[in-house]
Each structure stands twice: as structure tokens, then as C-alpha cells.
A and B are shown apart, each in its own frame.
Chain A
Amino acid sequence: MAIVVCTLAPLVGTTAISLSRAFDRTIAFADNVDAQVFFVARLPRVLAAVLVGGAFAVAGVVFQAFLRNPLASPDTLGVSSGATLGAVVVITFHLDTAFGGMSALPVASFAGSAGALGVVYLMSVARRRGTSSTVLLLGGVALSAFLGALNRLVQVIGDYTDVFRSMRWMMGSLDVGSYRDIVVPLVPMILALAAIATLPRVLDLVSLGEPAAESRGVDVRKAERVALVSASLLTGSAVSIGGPVPFVGIIVPHIVRLIVGADHRLVLPAALLFGGSFLVLCDLLARTAFGPAGMPVGAVTALIGGPFFLWLLFRKFR
């Protein structure tokens, strides 16, 4: 019992810190600006940041555990690129209203992310009995490059305004117009998070290797399907809101593990909250530090994330 309490305590610590940080920010805005600006302009954006950051971070945790590889993330597996391609196609060819006025963006980006993961996954299982994480990662890197090229190809076909829109969007932008932009992707996100909530102990075991997990009673094939589909769903939904915000999915899981340890019952919720607050802060910087025009949040996460990640690696493997 003591061990459970002891391990839960740091979680409460981090969540309280990151939550209060997130809330301080919104409260400060409410005080400075009138309520209308707060609720109509700022809050959707902050909520979008929380959702996108949390979703990328949790997806990253799941990919890293299942692939037993610290480099796995929505970015490196091609899942982000797939989602991006789906969205860029929708933007460029004006398919936004294809589904009776509802935006096709979330659907397209989920289809893209699931498609990308599907390709990589099939490639790796076709050759052997299980999933080889090296094949998955290498395949993801190759697929990322290929899909990136397709993205640019689609942009070349499109006209200037569309290209500007999709470019801006590809850099990652949380410039959501209304609550509706968030609510639609929220549904698949909640479904995916609910599915992942059943998995933390399985993720612990799987990170020791498939045979170890199986011999302790985990149905690895089934858990793998649930986990990978959920993580792609999260990635696709997050991309449909904010574009392929880079680095959150790979850096947040590592930071969180440094703080709360390896136990996924702590890592998953902490990643959700920390990822959310991290992106809120990055978005805050993006909005304020670079003049009224602002900067895409993706540029900020990469600018902060890159060097910070290098420092982290240096410190850890010194």
C-alpha cells in the first residue's frame, strides 16, 4: 500500500503544478482582457492546445512502450505525416464540406494516420510472426519522407491561397475558429483515451518484451491492435486540430518518465496533463513573443523541443 501511495504522490505533484500553470495563464488573460475575448478567442485556443498536446504525448507514450523504443513517436512512425497528407488533400481540394457541411478534416487526417500506421505495420508483420520495432521505425522514417513528398506534390497542384493555408497549417497552428473545431475531434479522442486507460499495466509488461508480457497473461496481439489503433486515432484527431505539431509526441513522454518513473499508470495521465500544459505554454510563446502576427506553435515546439531534447539525452547518457 505504501508503495502505491509513494508512487502516486509525485503524480499529484506534477499534475498540480502543470494544471495550476495552465490555469494561471487563462486566469491572467481573463483579468487583462474582457470576458468575451477570453471565452471566444482565447479559451478555444487554450483548450485546443491542451487536447493536441495531451493527445500527441499519450500517443507517443503508447508507441514507445509497444515498440520498446525511445525513438518511437507519431512523428517518427509516419503517423503524423499520414494525418497531414489527409488534411492537406482536404484543404487543397476544398473537400471541407464534403460531409454535409461538417468538416472532413478530422476524418481525413485520421484516415491518413491510420493508413500510414497500417502500411508500416503490415510491412513488419508480413515478414515475420510478430512486430519488429526496428522495421516499424525504419519503415516509418521512409514513409514519412515519402508522404512529405506527396504533401508537397499536392501543394504544387493547389493554388497560392490554398498553399499558404496548408503551409501555415503544416507548421502547426492552434488558431482554431470556434469550439466546433475542437468538439468534433474530441469524440474520437475520448474514445481512444478510454481504450488506452485499460492498458497501463499491459504497457508496463510489453515494454519488457512480447514473450515476457505473454507469459504473464497478456493477449499481446489484441492489446497491440487496441493500442496502435487508439494511438493513431489520437494522432489523427490532434493533427486535425493543430496540424502536425512536432516534438511533443517524443519529448513529453521522456520528460514525464524522468519525473514520475516508468510505471505507465502514472506516465499516461501525467503525459496527458504535461503534454497539454506544455503545448499551452508553447502556444502562449507563439502568440505573444513574436509580435501581433504570432508564430506557428509548431515552430516554437521545435525551437524549444530540439535543444531541450539534446540536453536531456546528454544528461541522461552522460
Chain B
Amino acid sequence: MSDALLEAIEVSFAYDPRGPAVVDDVSLAVARGAIVGLIGPNGSGKTTLLRLLSGTLTPARGAVRLGTAPMGSLSRRELARRIAVVPQETHSAFDFSALEIVMMGRYPHLGAFELEGADDLAIARDALAVTGTRALESRQFTTLSGGEKQRVVIASALAQAAEILLLDEPTASLDLGFQLDVTSLLARLNRDRGVTMVVSTHDLNLAASLCTTLVLLKTGRVIAAGPPREVLTRDHVRALYGVDADMEIHSRTGRLMVVPLGRAL
């Protein structure tokens, strides 16, 4: 496990110190180049675990390590240069253009009074191009559709030029077309740029096709972890969601499909 790029070791966290742990004794290792999927019902601690992995929250017990360095030893800026985060939803209070939003990804690379240079602009434009949002660059962020916003925010995270990307339900509010766009974008970023990812999602089929490893969370605890085909089992789906489901290999794509049948009795 020591070759992991990002690693949580027996991590626990509670928002209310006297309340129940939201993340309970979780260990997970993210290898370089992996796409790790976090799967679990609402309130299972996926978002909290992502925030612990990004260093935004500090665990009550256990440790998070980035390479060999404990999270606590790195400044927010250093962290931001290595880990970028795409939150579930992004709302802008003011009328920033898409390009301005993407340029904000350059923040951890700039000094306090340093202006963005031509390199930064080139990186931002490249990020827009990769996410297929180049044409939107001068549009107001607030006027974009959900799928366009999500891709611009991913572009902003790319402009951060971090080796690790943490995404919280990146396809949750998107229609089928945009879901496919974002999924194939993530796969491409991983393949072509070697970006390591941790993705939380409710979409089991997406998780099965995109992720190299799945971590199944229930009430803050890991109930299983491993390659999708090994852990996406009937028993696990029932344990997680209380749903009976069939697993099939789709004949044309060869992908694992989870077909929900109904509430488990």
C-alpha cells in the first residue's frame, strides 16, 4: 500500500464530536493512474470522505497521506497544486465568465500580486478545449446549462494542473447526453493525461464502466472494495440500497450492467 498516491488510513470523522461518526474507520489507497469509485446510499459518507481526501476536513482519528507526506504537513496551496476538486454543484454569486471561472484554477500557482500570464491563459484555454467548452469562454457562467457548468468546473479543476482529481457525483444533475459526455471526458483525461481520480456516484453502471476500483460505503464504513466485477454483487447491492438487482454482462459492449428489480423484502 506504500506505493499509493493518496491514502486514507483508519480515518474517522464526525461533524458533531459527540455525534455518530460520518466516516468510520475507513482505509483506502488510491494508486497512481487509478479511477476509484465511491459507491453508497445517501448519507453514507461519500462527500465527507472526499473532503477528508482533499484535506478540506481533518480526520478526528487516523491519517490521510498524499504520497509519503501527511496531509497536515502541506499548506492549502501545496495541496491545491496536487489535488483538484469538482463539487456536486457550483453556484456563482456574481456574473463571472466561463473563462474567468477556469482561470481561477490557476490561483494556487500564482503569487499574491502576480497577474496571470500567457502560460496561464494557454493552460485555461487548453482546459476549455479538452472539456469541449471553448465556445463558451465568454459566456456568463450563471447562464450556462447544468452540463455546460459541470464541464466548465471540470475545466477549472484541470487548469489547476493537479495530478489528482476528486469528483463528487459529477453526473448527478445531468441528462443522459451530458452524462455520457462527462464520463467519456473523465476516461479520456485518465487515459491521455494520467490523471488519478476519485469519483463518488450513484450511477452503478457508470461506476462499473469507468472505475478501476470501487469502494462500497455504508453508514461511514467500507463494506467492500475491489474491481467492479468483484464487488458489484447482488448481496452488496442489497446491503447498500435494500434493492434486489441482477448483474449482466451487456452483449455488445461487454460492460457489467446492474439491473434493479425492486425493493428487497
Contact = CB atoms under 8 A, between A and B. Distances in A.
A2 B121 CA distance: 9
A214 to B, nearest CB: 5
* A contact residues, range: 20 to 34
A302 B253 CA distance: 67
Interface in B100-134: 100-101, 103-105, 107-108, 110, 112-113, 115-118, 121
B96 interface: yes
A8 B100 CA distance: 14
B139 interface: no
B241 interface: no
Interface string A212-237: 10111111000000000000000000
A204 interface: yes
Interface stretch (B73-81, B188-196, B202-210, B226-234): B73-81
Given A198-B112, A205-B107, A215 B93 contact: no
B56 A215 contact: yes
Contact of A69 (B54, B93, B104, B118): B93
Interface stretch (A12-20, A99-107, A169-177, A256-264): A256-264
A3 interface: yes
Contacts of B160: 216
B158 interface: no
B99 interface: yes
Contact of A209 (B84, B90, B118): B90
Interface string A19-35: 00000000000000000
Interface size class of B (residues with CB under 8 A): 35 or more
A64 to B, nearest CB: 7
B87 A262 contact: no
Contacts of B117: 1
Interface string B66-78: 0000000001111
A208 B80 contact: no
B153 to A, nearest CB: 8
Contact of B85 (A201, A215, A218, A257): A215
B38 to A, nearest CB: 16
Interface in A168-220: 198, 201, 204-205, 207-209, 211-212, 214-219
Given A3-B121, A217-B108, A207 B76 contact: no
Contact of B104 (A2, A4, A64, A204): A204
A64 B95 CA distance: 13
A70 B93 CA distance: 7
B85 A211 contact: yes
A129 interface: yes
B123 to A, nearest CB: 13
Contacts of A217: 75-81, 107-108
Contacts of B91: 68, 208-209
Contact of B76 (A2, A65, A219): A219
Nearest to B57: A129
Contact of A201 (B77, B97, B101, B110): B110
Interface of B: 15, 51, 54, 56, 75-81, 83-85, 87, 90-97, 99-101, 103-105, 107-108, 110, 112-113, 115-118, 121, 160, 166
28 contacts: A1-B118, A1-B121, A3-B99, A3-B121, A64-B93, A65-B93, A129-B15, A201-B107, A205-B104, A207-B92, A209-B91, A212-B85, A212-B87, A214-B56, A214-B76, A215-B54, A215-B80, A215-B83, A215-B85, A215-B166, A216-B84, A216-B107, A217-B77, A217-B81, A257-B94, A261-B97, A262-B92, A262-B96
Given A214-B76, A216-B104, 11 more contacts: A65-B94, A198-B113, A207-B92, A209-B87, A211-B85, A212-B90, A214-B56, A215-B56, A215-B85, A217-B78, A263-B96
Interface of A: 1-4, 64-65, 68-70, 129, 198, 201, 204-205, 207-209, 211-212, 214-219, 257, 261-263
